[in-house]
Amino acid sequence: MRIYFVLFWWAAISPLWCQEPNLAQQLQRYQERIAMTTHGERLVWMDSLTSAVEFQAEHHYDSLARATIDFALAEDSLAIAADNISDLIYYRKSYLGDPSQAVELFKQYEFL
């Protein structure tokens, strides 16, 4: 019975120790791939990077989401742009607690 407790504890706690280094490595890998690619492939990596840091201000989510939106619009990928716009509006309204910023963002991209 004790071995099950130890295994359960290790399985529950170990991801907490490993999460940040893995995230840092993952972000570095995304940034390298973004620098090496162009067009649609770059957009996929930018969207993955934005998703990896979604709603995390310490990783500059806001500016990454805006860059992904602008690049998606330049590449005529309205689905990715719209998805990131809605996430960014939600982030500004719910996480930052500033509905006026969310409304301004909506007005900026309402042509979609």
pLDDT in tens, 27-86: 999 999 999 999 999 999 999 999 999 998 898 999 999 999 999 999 999 999 999 999
- CA distances (Å), origin 13, targets 6, 26, 46, 75: 11, 20, 30, 42
* pTM for this predicted structure: 0.77
CA nearest neighbour of 68 among 53, 54, 86, 49:
49
Q: What's residue 9's pLDDT?
A: 45
CA nearest neighbour of 54 among 83, 14, 25:
83
- CA distances (Å), origin 64, targets 51, 57, 78, 88: 10, 10, 17, 10
